Amino acid sequence: MRTGKSDMSGWLVRPAGGHLWAVLGVVLAACAGHAARVAPGGGMDNAIVVRAARTWLDGGSPYDDPHFLYLPSAVLAAVPQALLPAGVLRVLVPCAVTALLALAWACALRLHRVPLGSRLAVLGLTGLTLGFAPFGHLVRLGNWTVTAAVALPLCLLLASRGRWTAAGAVIGAAVALKPLLAPVVLLFVFAGRWRALAAAVLVPALASGAAALAMPDPAGFFTRTLPFLLHGDDGFVRLYEASPAAVLPRLGVPQPLAQGLAAAGACAGVLCAYRRWRRADPGPLRLAETGAGLMLAAFLVSRPSYDHYLLVALPLLLAGLPYAGSVARGVWFWIALVPQVPGTGWPWLESERRRAFRDAFTLCVLAVTVARQARSGAADSGGAVVPPERAPEPERAPAAPF
């Protein structure tokens, strides 16, 4: 990519001033502080995890709660939270989620070779915090989706540096906590990285198998949670789901037809992700767009599918802004984000129970926009982002011999 002063990319990768960092610090602190005030116990979703761990400590089955959508290994991982006082969780969880989202953004930037001290690093995270509603929702909920939001860019960063087995282990650890990133194993299949695939499968399998032996209901995830994930037959949850399979029936589309359309869209998304990988152009956009495409395709058909799931894919796409031809350079990328701007009143969609229509619009438009990358390549997507102050000097003509 170009980093000259006349190019916007050059301005983005230049070092950010101290005032921008101060603004970012205030924004992140305000986001975490607000969540600590309004989210008792560290958030509603975090309370589900903590309650499940406490149930297990008391000798019960965590899967008695149908909203506990995690593997058995997550129960043991949640035990430290279950042992902490509610007052500590109320402050600790929003701060931890905010810090992990910042780490996810940093990994996405490094995948695209963008300096962590750049203007894009500061302005991008500030924009996500202030201008993307699911960011604040995830901080307030304390949902473990944040582990997937960190693991995906970290996995792709490791893969970009040739450390595929470590990348597979990262995905496996994330799946052991929450099975959200399971579709990413297809990336290892596309790339023919079988050791990475084995790591991604074995880590959660072994961790969950060992944890299940300590559960009073070892098969609870398969007998209770998996059917819930496949059918999403919960009236309360359905109102907040963003997948077409949940939204279209609310518009009068028959349920079987809605599920068929969602499945067809997901299959098309996976095919486009495969074609994007096969295009094999150099640079980080290949990994980022393939990984994001797989996850967006999965969100089209997964039940449930919430707005904060978008934070798994969005930082990867936004961090590619300095590259010509990237998804973030397209107008439809920004159109997709318009419904997620906080504070905007949308007629007949103001209710929290109707915001799923806005989330579905964002999900579908983003999925289509990323899928289109399978056929439209970037002009210089292979160029490395180089800070202007460290840009290589032009080659000089050799001196004439004596």
**Is 398 part of a structural domain of the chain?**
no
**Is 112 part of a structural domain of the chain?**
yes
**Is 361 part of a structural domain of the chain?**
yes
pLDDT of residue 245 exceeding 50: yes
**Is 255 part of a structural domain of the chain?**
yes
Q: How far is CA 160 from the centre of its chain?
A: 18
**Is 11 part of a structural domain of the chain?**
no
**Is 5 part of a structural domain of the chain?**
no
Give the residue-averaged pLDDT of 248-265: 92
**Is 401 part of a structural domain of the chain?**
no
Q: Which of 223, 249, 298, 292 is nearest to 66 (CA)?
A: 223
- In the prediction, which pLDDT does 79 show? 92
Kindly report whether the global pTM for this prediction surpasses the value 0.75: yes
Bridge partner list, 15? 118
Write out 309-358 in H/E/C secondary structure.
Answer: HHHHCHHHHHCCCCCCCCHHHCHHHHHHHHHHCCCCCCCCCCCHHHHHHH
Bridge partner list, 118? 15
Highest averaged pLDDT of the listed ranges 38-47, 157-166, 384-393:
157-166
Domains identified in the chain, total number: 1
pLDDT of residue 378 exceeding 60: no
**Is 56 part of a structural domain of the chain?**
yes
Q: What does the pLDDT look like over 170-220, one tens digit per residue?
A: 999 999 999 999 999 999 999 999 999 999 999 999 999 999 888 888 888
Confidence tier at 241 by pLDDT (50, 70, 90):
confident
Provide the domain limits for residue 337. 18-381
Confidence tier at 95 by pLDDT (50, 70, 90):
very high
pLDDT of residue 116 exceeding 60: yes
End-to-end Cα spacing for the chain: 39
Q: What does the pLDDT look like over 277-316, one tens digit per residue?
A: 998 888 899 999 999 999 999 999 987 889 999 999 999 9
Q: Which of 23-32, 35-44, 253-262 has the lowest mean pLDDT?
A: 35-44
